[in-house]
Amino acid sequence: MSEKRDYYEVLGVSKDATEADIKKAFRKMARKYHPDLNKDNAKEAEEKFKEANEAYEVLSDSQKRAQYDQFGHAAFEGGGGGGAGGFGGFGGFGDGSSDFGDIFDAFFGGGGRSGGRRQGPQRGDDLRYNLEIDFEEAAFGKEAELTIPRTEECKTCHGSGAAPGTQPEECPKCHGTGQVQEVHNTPFGRMVNARTCDRCGGTGKIVKKPCPDCRGEGHTRIRRKINVKIPAGVDDNSRIRVSGGGEAGDRGGSPGDLYVYITVRPHKIFHRNGNDVICEVPVSFVQASLGDKIEVPTLDGKVEISVPAGIQSGTILRMKGKGIAYLRGNGRGDQHVKVKVLTPQKLTSRQKELLREFADEKNENVNPEQKSWQDKIKQFFK
């Protein structure tokens, strides 16, 4: 008998592979070497299939994997930790409780099963799509057409995996139960170990003539266009669920869902604070002193507002109902206009002269706020 290959090598994973990595690698191997999909080299494929089963049964169990990492294949030879022999070289690992069917439960059945019951429908995987939208689109909502790569039920065989005009047949090895039993004689007596049927993969049926379009998989990979309604008021990291927009299920199972995650592009003028919009508007020294009417940009277009005389830089003017729609509820937030008073620069001689005259006027020196500040400074230095 040829020497057994390293289990990590069999599955094509590294020794620090995670449980998810090992499961994914086994699923790929199981599909690749399934006997029903390798009619031309069925014997070789079956051996590869069994070898992958054996490797997965050890590496997917943390305790067995630890034993294997320490002692290699010797950990399971000679009855010390489990009798070798039978399918894949494994029996009950000492307690007869090992059931290889859980592997295909995870991949092809879902929901768990017991005894000789076949695996049932399995729901498809969920998908994630990252969508970037503009600030205005987040404020008012939009219809987005997304192109999603996903698996769907094969239109030719309608998910059966069998060629047109044929149907899957009862597996002759497990007689439709999806499981076979092995009896092992051990120093502790006879032990019976139930495992997933390697001929049908636990489905209880085999496909003698695979569908030419999906090659017996029952589903195909396509790029589907899906229209998604983005509601008004969404923000960064908002999540929109599209029921049934995910991967196709197995054996008649329902499809998974599509989750669209939103990212909002920054705006050149507006900033968002909850449902309120904030923008900064510059006004001249003269406008701030005398007051004026100015045009302010909003999400709805330009709006004229009044700047009161004597306004100070940093003052906030509120524009009610000009913000972003409430995601759950009616109405909109407000827009807050932050006034920025611009100090004159590059003055002419005449302008400087006028400002000095202005400063010499008595009223300039009796500004209440300025006088209060000067009094505080005097008190501080005393």
Annotated binding site for Zn(2+): 154, 157, 171, 174, 197, 200, 211, 214
Binding positions are: 154, 157, 171, 174, 197, 200, 211, 214
| Residue spans of alpha helices (H) in the chain | 7-11, 19-32, 42-59, 62-71, 101-104, 135-140, 285-290, 349-360, 362-365, 368-381
Helix (H, G, I), strand (E, B) or coil at 110: coil
Residue-wise burial string across 331-353, b where 16 or more C-beta atoms lie within 10 A, e elsewhere: ebbbbbbebebeeeeeeeeeeee
* Residue 352 to residue 339: CA distance in whole angstroms: 25
Is residue 202 within 8 A of residue 108, CB to CB? The reply is: yes
- Contact in structure between 196 and 116 (CB atoms under 8 Å): no
Percent helix, percent strand, percent coil in the chain, to nearest 5: 30, 30, 45
Which tokens hold the place of 206? Answer: 């085999």
Q: H or E element: which one contains 150?
A: strand 142-153
Q: 249: which 2 tokens? A: 């299920």
Contact 188, 81 (CB under 8 A): no
Residues 6 or more apart whose Cβ sits within 8 Å of residue 295: 302, 303, 304
For residue 220, the cross-strand partners are 152
Pairwise CA distance, residues 106 & 121, whole Å: 12
Q: How far apart (Å, rounded) are the C-alpha atoms in residues 279 and 256?
A: 42
123, two tokens: 């729901």
Q: Which of 152, 156, 175, 324 is nearest to 222 (CA)?
A: 152
Which amino acid, 251?
R
**Residues near 336 by beta carbon (within 8 Å), at least 6 away in sequence:** 273, 276, 277, 278, 279, 316, 317, 318, 319
The token pair at 36 is: 């029903």
